[in-house]
Chain A
Amino acid sequence: MTAQPLLDVQDLTVEFSTRRGIVKAVQHVNISVAKGETLAIVGESGSGKSVTSYAVMRILDRAGKIAEGSVMFSGIDVKAATEGQMRDLRGREVSMIFQNPRAALNPIRKVGDQIEDVLRTHVQQAMVSDHGEKAIEALEQVKIARPRERYHAYPFELSGGMCQRVVIALALACNPQLLIADEPTTGLDVTTQKAVMDLIVELTKRKAMSTILITHDLGLAAAYCDRVVVMEKGRVVETAKAADIFANPQHPYTKKLMRATPRLGVSLRDLLPEEEGAAAAESAPAAVASAEGQKPLLLIEKLVKEYPRQGATATLGKLFGRKPPVEPDVFRAVDGISFSIGHGESVGLVGESGCGKSTTSMMVMRLLDQTSGLIQFDGEDIGAIAPASFARLPQRSRIQMVFQDPTDSLNPRFTAARAIVDPIMQLGDIKGRDALRARCEELATMVGLPHNLLDRFPHQLSGGQKARVGIARAIALHPKLVILDEPTAALDVSVQAVVLNLLQDLKARLGMSYLFVSHDLNVVRLLCDRVIVMRTGRIVEEGSSERVLSDPQDDYTKELLTAIPHPPLPVH
Chain B
Amino acid sequence: MLTMIGKRLMFAIPSLIGVVIVTFLLTRALPGDPAAYFAGPAATKEAVEQIRKKLGLDKPLIEQFFRYTNDLAHGDFGNSLTTGQPVAAEIRNRLPASAELTLLGLIVSIVIAIPLGVLAATRPGSWIDHLCRITTTAGVSLPVFFTGLVLVYFFYFRLGWSPAPLGRLDVFYSAPQTVTGFYLIDTLIARDFEAFRSALSQLILPATTLAIFSLAPIARMTRASMLAVLSSEFVRTARASGLSPATVIVTYAFRNAMLPVITTLSMVFSFLLGANVLMEKVFAWPGIGSYAVEALISSDFAPVQGFVLTMAVMYVLLNLVIDILYGVIDPRVRLEG
Contact = CB atoms under 8 A, between A and B. Distances in A.
Interface string B238-266: 11111110010001100110000000000
A105 interface: yes
Contact of B331 (A96, A154, A171): A154
B234 A106 contact: yes
B330 interface: yes
Contact of B242 (A87, A104, A107, A167): A87
Contact of A89 (B124, B242, B252, B329): B242
B234 A105 contact: yes
Nearest to B247: A117
A372 interface: no
Given A106-B252, A117-B247, A313-B336, A91 B241 contact: yes
Contact of B240 (A95, A117, A122): A95
B233 A98 contact: yes
A258 interface: no
Interface in A49-94: 57, 59, 62, 86-92
A117 to B, nearest CB: 6
B233 A100 contact: yes
Contacts of A57: 240
Nearest to B125: A62
Contacts of B238: 106, 117
Nearest to A317: B7
B240 A91 contact: yes
| Count class of interface residues, chain B | 20 to 34
B237 A105 contact: yes
A117 B237 contact: no
B28 interface: no
A88 B238 CA distance: 13
Contacts of A392: none
Contact of A108 (B236, B242, B331): B331
Nearest to B237: A104
B332 interface: yes
Nearest to A313: B336
A321 interface: no
Given A98-B233, A170-B237, A117 B332 contact: no
Which of B239, B242, B244 gathers most chain A CB within 10 Å?
A: B242
A156 interface: yes
A423 to B, nearest CB: 35
Given A106-B256, A108-B329, A156-B332, A88 B234 contact: no
A90 B238 CA distance: 10
Given A92-B242, A117-B251, A121-B243, A107 B237 contact: no
Interface in A376-415: none
B234 A104 contact: yes
Interface string B9-51: 0100000000000000000000000000000000000000000
A109 interface: yes
B238 to A, nearest CB: 7
Contacts of B332: 107-108, 154, 156
Interface in B64-106: none
Interface string B216-238: 00000000000000001110111
Interface in B285-337: 329-332, 336
A32 B253 CA distance: 34
Interface in B43-61: none
Interface residues of A, number: 34
B233 A95 contact: no
A311 interface: yes
B336 A59 contact: no
B133 to A, nearest CB: 18
B335 to A, nearest CB: 9
A107 B243 contact: no
A362 interface: no
A118 interface: yes
A103 interface: yes
A62 B234 CA distance: 17
Interface string A112-131: 00000110011000000000
Interface string A201-242: 000000000000000000000000000000000000000000
Contacts of B252: 106, 109
Contacts of B233: 98-100, 103-104
Nearest to B231: A61
B234 to A, nearest CB: 5
Contacts of A171: 241
A154 B334 CA distance: 12
A310 to B, nearest CB: 11
Interface in B156-203: none
Contact of A96 (B234, B237, B247, B329): B237
Which of A62, A107, A156, A313 gathers most chain B CB within 10 Å?
A: A107
A90 B239 contact: yes
Contacts of A118: 241-243
Contact of A121 (B124, B234, B244, B256): B244
A108 B247 contact: no
B198 to A, nearest CB: 44
Interface in A1-57: 57
Nearest to A113: B251
B226 to A, nearest CB: 14
A90 B331 contact: no
16 contacts: A88-B242, A90-B239, A91-B241, A91-B242, A103-B233, A104-B237, A106-B251, A106-B252, A108-B332, A109-B255, A117-B247, A121-B244, A121-B247, A156-B332, A171-B241, A311-B336
List the 3 closest pairs (A to B, CB-CB), nearest first: A91-B242, A90-B242, A91-B241
Given A91-B243, A320-B10, 18 more contacts: A90-B242, A91-B241, A91-B242, A103-B232, A104-B237, A105-B234, A106-B252, A107-B234, A107-B256, A109-B252, A117-B243, A117-B251, A121-B243, A121-B244, A122-B242, A170-B237, A171-B241, A311-B336
Interface of B: 10, 124, 232-234, 236-244, 247, 251-252, 255-256, 329-332, 336
